[in-house]
Structure 1
Amino acid sequence: MSGRLIALAAVIAAFGALSTVALMDVGYFGIIEPHFQSWGAAQVFFDLVIVCLLACIWMVNDARERGLAVWPFIALTLVAGSFGPLAYLAMRELRGAEKRVTGTAAAR
């Protein structure tokens, strides 16, 4: 297992734990609601929306180059934000590791 994959797994686990606690505390709409109570909070919300949209564009382009299915990760991004790109990066790393192992075995 690569260092990048271990780091991604740790980030996904930690962010997942934080998200679980937040959802249990205030619910899905409770996470979004404070972002409409001030201009500063709205700025943070729309900043995150822009970053997620840019990540979706990057994922589509990267997936085309690599021949990967990207739509599950786009859907996950639309529903769960950063989990989509994080999961895509983990899958991409796993796929790269498979190719490196297969390429090494084929070279023998």
Structure 2
Amino acid sequence: MSSVISLIGSILYLLLLLYFFVMWGRFILDLMRTFNRAWRPRGAGLVAAEVVYSVTDPPVNFFRRILPPVRLGAVALDLGWSLTMLCVIVAMFLVGFL
């Protein structure tokens, strides 16, 4: 029984680790859009960007609804990505104990 739980924990941890890297991919894509508004991915990059945004949009938008972007003058601080990453890291930490 213990080995089954350990196997499930390992698989869950690997899935969370993969999601962690996908979240960093979203961060890089958002950063590229911030610095160059005219940039649009093409070809395989477009497919990869679509997968990244499709997988990461639901939790990020969920946290944006709970805690809308904080206005700091002319700038808005969006905490959706940060809260999603925090939850993924905490989940990885907890699953690591299985």
TM-score (norm 1): 0.29
Higher relative contact order (CA 8 A, sep 6+): 2
- The structure richer in strand per residue is 2
TM-score (norm 2): 0.31
